[in-house]
Chains A and B, each alone.
Chain A
Amino acid sequence: MRNVLLLCRIGLSGAMLVIATPAFAAGSPSDPLNSVMWDMLREQYFAGAPVVFDNAVKVTAPAAAEDTRAVPISVDATALGRVVEMVAIADLNPFPLVLRYHPGTAAPYIATRIKIQQATAVRGAARTDDGVWHVSGVLVDAAGGGCSAPPTSYAQKDWADHVGEVQARLWPADPDGAARLRLRIRHPNDTGLVDGIPAYFVETLQIDAQTPGGSPVLARIDSLEPVSENPVYSLDLRPPPDATALVLHGRDNQGGEIRATIPMPPRGAKPAMSPGPSAQPWSVGQ
């Protein structure tokens, strides 16, 4: 365990060396979370784009991580209206960027589980039509190890028998027209930071609707190393009324293909329970 931690720290300082050169962006608002990484991350992920700290983006995560290999987070930007792209970032991870979400026609909401390396700011950002990134975040306290500890599947001999298997459920649309989709994909999602275990993680996911007239794309996720083993994603999609099924297709970084057809919810099913972030007792306020 000590070795594992050391490895991650080396990774982190290496990253700092590489990116230490850019100057502080002029006029950048100061980070409400006071993270040492902010200026660097801003330059790396939002370079050239206007950035505002905006509590209209709701980020939820536990105040303290119980399992650093699977910390539930959600980013909800529905208050902003039309959103083109969303990102989730864990500042002090060896790989800070968790995922990029292209909501397409879906509501700008995504939830997943991530690995975190140590106590860190966890951020969500949403880019609106006008090109502005709206950023907010919360602090998550944690003991170290999430990114570089081997996933539990490393001990299971049969991970290869199930890799790429998908469990999915689609609920009927709520009154706003958003239908909750929850996906779980069997995958080790290895970061490559553990000695002897190559990077092996889900990279792209796309959800299409199957309709008589074609297969429009509903949403797309570029997923990265920090997403937890056996990744779980919750999305609020808007399938067209004539959709007969949803189709998930994706790939991992080694070319492994992920395919699933997700049936429409049965007649009479109720929409998913989706309380707003304020109703969740474990969420951390802005």
Chain B
Amino acid sequence: MKRLVTSLALAASLTAFSATGVLAADAGGPSSDDLLKSATNTEAVLTYGMGPQAQRFSPLTDLNADTVKKLVPVWSFSFGGEKQRGQEAQPIIYDGTIYVTGSYSRLYAVDARTGHKKWEYNHRLPDGIMPCCDVVNRGAAIYKDKIYFATLDARLVALNRETGKVVWNKKLQDYKEGYSNTAAPLIIDGKIITGNSGGEFGVIGMVEARDAETGELVWQRPTIEGNVGTLNGKESTVTGKTNASWPGDMYKTGGGATWLGGTYDPETKTLFFGTGNPAPWNSHLRPGDNLYTSSTLAINPDNGEIKWHYQTTPHDGWDFDGVNEFVSFDLKKDGKVVKAGGKADRNGFFYVIDRTNGKLINASPFVTKITWAKGIDIETGRPIYIDDNRPGAPATADAHDAKGKSVFAAPAFLGAKNWMPMAYNPQTELFYVPANEWGMDIWNEPITYKKGAAYLGAGFTIKPLYDDYIGALRAVDPKTGKIVWEYKNPAPLWGGVLTTAGNLVFTGTPEGYLKAFDAKSGQEVWKFQTGSGVVGSPVTWKMDGEQYVAVVSGWGGAVPLWGGDVAKLVKDINQGGSLWVFKLPKA
């Protein structure tokens, strides 16, 4: 009897181990190398950005300016339920399955050929989550046998991509302090790398790498100077130099959230993460550059050390958040090829930066009106401020109306370009930037920090600049900074862009259309009404010899919540939540 009992206990322990995923099963799936080469893989969409550099460029040519008129819907998949809020995801496509995230931290696996749902994971969210700008999610990450996504309660969930069963679920930050997470994770060399949201609540921006197999933390890099990073469970180095650009203790609640995630350049082995606005918004409380807020950070993926930084808006006083994606590309200029990167900043300037050292090559406006700076000094890389356009300091007395001088500033804090990712086409050598033309009245108010409460110290209201349009899809030449063509859209653009070797540019509109344009001329060549606003990022791939396009539809995001006068213009757009798939049928 005793012998029997022992062997039974052993059997039980073995079963338990495999059930909890302690034994790492190698069930195939995309490898690290597959992810690094994903930009040229036309049979799959393995990474957010359609390649680690996030050019959102497909080499496919079946669809082109001539054939695109034959592009037809194949099926549409509803996200279901009553949770029809902003759908900002980019689908991931692998082995005949589409993995797509929905609002309220939901993840779906759908058969790419039929639209049949394979499984759905619905994250149980606490009541106290505090996402600033709608309950969105921007996409999942795939690696080996798992699919990953981040949730609104600031957790990272790894699921078996075949079954949808949770393998692990790790807390990234404490949602009660204002943290949340909406960006797609990035996976490099077996490490899953994430940023954080919560820039409106005085949190500290952070970039973190975890072991993609186990979820265990490898390194952390705070984005605000004076805060200490970690590596393999031990303190590593201080970010920057304490108090070099922050007064007193303010660096401890300095903001700089990395809420949009990052990109990676395999050639220079560098991560690029944009950092958010400093906290509070009222800049008079924090004299100095406030490093490294409103910047791009170049980070070593092995240990989290900062290689270089470029700050687009030093001493930001307008919420010109610097999170926008840094897209690596080869700048061909004067017979030379420069390893460069492009960034269309919220502050209205398009920056071309040497990605090996962070030195500015060129900066030019990509919107019609910029009131806060005359331009960017190419030598120093710093803005030439228009001091009058900085919102005034609030009165110090306990006056009933303590707000400071209000100014009309453009762009508005929602940015000349917000989160929606641009695309770069190496054939036309143009960037395609989803821009918006708006300004704001902005003023400062007294503020003190309280954990988990909004830490703004500013009031604001957004106004359109023109009667006939707000959104403008613009083709920007990085060599000259010139705008080659533009498409004007009545409502603000809030969706990502895709470009292809077939001389096409795709993007969605809040009015509900997925549209295609001739990449060289900007002429609109195709459109399809999806039934709700399109604020997600389209992708394309080839399956069974035919070229497909997929995009999510579902109006929402920050505009209806924060858009002031603009919110009024878009209030009649109906909500939704669906995935649309199109194809160019074989002749």
Contact = CB atoms under 8 A, between A and B. Distances in A.
Interface stretch (A34-42, A49-57, A59-67, A198-206): A198-206
A204 B124 contact: no
Nearest to A253: B166
A160 B126 contact: yes
A251 B20 contact: yes
A204 B19 contact: yes
B13 A190 contact: no
Interface in B149-190: 153, 157-158, 165-169
Interface centre among A157, A195, A198, A256 (most CB of B within 10 A): A198
Interface string A93-116: 000000000101100000000000
Given A105-B8, A157-B128, A256-B169, A198 B16 contact: no
B123 interface: yes
A144 interface: no
Nearest to B167: A255
B24 interface: no
Nearest to B170: A255
A204 B167 CA distance: 13
A254 B19 contact: no
B127 interface: yes
B122 A199 contact: yes
A217 interface: yes
B81 A195 contact: yes
Nearest to B6: A216
A204 B128 contact: no
Contacts of A196: 81-83
Given A195-B81, A255-B168, A217 B122 contact: no
B587 interface: no
Interface in B383-400: none
A251 B126 CA distance: 18
A190 B122 CA distance: 12
Contacts of B16: 204, 206, 217, 220
Interface string B1-39: 000110011001101100110000000000000000000
A192 interface: yes
Interface in B225-251: none
Contacts of A105: 5, 8-9
**Among A160, A197, A218, A220, which residue has the most Cβ atoms of chain B within 10 A?**
A160
Contacts of A157: 127-128
Interface residues of B, number: 27
Interface in A70-129: 82, 84, 102, 104-105
Contacts of A256: 169
B55 to A, nearest CB: 34
| Residue from B123, B166, B168 whose CB has the most chain A CB atoms within 10 Å | B166
Contacts of A82: 4
A63 to B, nearest CB: 34
A159 interface: yes
Nearest to A201: B124
Interface in B111-153: 122-124, 126-128, 153
A10 to B, nearest CB: 14
Contacts of A257: 169
A48 to B, nearest CB: 20
A188 B126 CA distance: 11
A218 B12 CA distance: 9
Contacts of B13: 216-217
B12 A102 contact: yes
Contact of B9 (A104, A190, A195, A251): A104
Given A105-B5, A251-B20, A253-B166, A198 B124 contact: yes
B486 to A, nearest CB: 42
A206 B12 CA distance: 9
Contacts of B8: 84, 104-105
Contact of B123 (A195, A198, A216): A198
A127 to B, nearest CB: 13
A192 B122 contact: yes
A196 B165 CA distance: 20
A105 B166 CA distance: 29
Nearest to A129: B4
A84 B4 CA distance: 11
A217 B158 CA distance: 27
A216 B20 CA distance: 17
B155 to A, nearest CB: 9
A188 B15 CA distance: 26
Given A204-B19, A251-B20, A255-B167, A217 B82 contact: no
B124 A197 contact: yes
A70 B58 CA distance: 56
Contacts of A253: 165-166
Nearest to A199: B122
Contacts of A84: 8
Interface string A204-248: 101000000000111010000000000000000000000000000
A255 B126 CA distance: 15
B126 A159 contact: yes
Contact of A160 (B4, B127, B167): B127
A102 B126 CA distance: 32
A198 B9 contact: no
Given A160-B153, A195-B82, A256-B169, A204 B20 contact: yes
Interface in A122-176: 157, 159-160
B529 to A, nearest CB: 28
Contacts of B12: 102, 104, 206, 217, 220
Nearest to A200: B124
B169 A255 contact: yes
Nearest to A222: B19
A218 B5 CA distance: 10
B82 A190 contact: no
A190 to B, nearest CB: 7
Contact of B169 (A104, A188, A218, A254): A254
B308 to A, nearest CB: 37
6 tightest Cβ-Cβ pairs between the two chains A and B: A255-B169, A160-B126, A198-B122, A255-B166, A200-B124, A217-B13
13 contacts: A82-B4, A104-B12, A160-B126, A188-B124, A196-B83, A204-B19, A206-B16, A251-B20, A253-B165, A255-B158, A255-B167, A255-B168, A257-B169
Given A198-B122, A254-B169, A255-B167, 4 more contacts: A105-B9, A204-B16, A217-B9, A254-B157
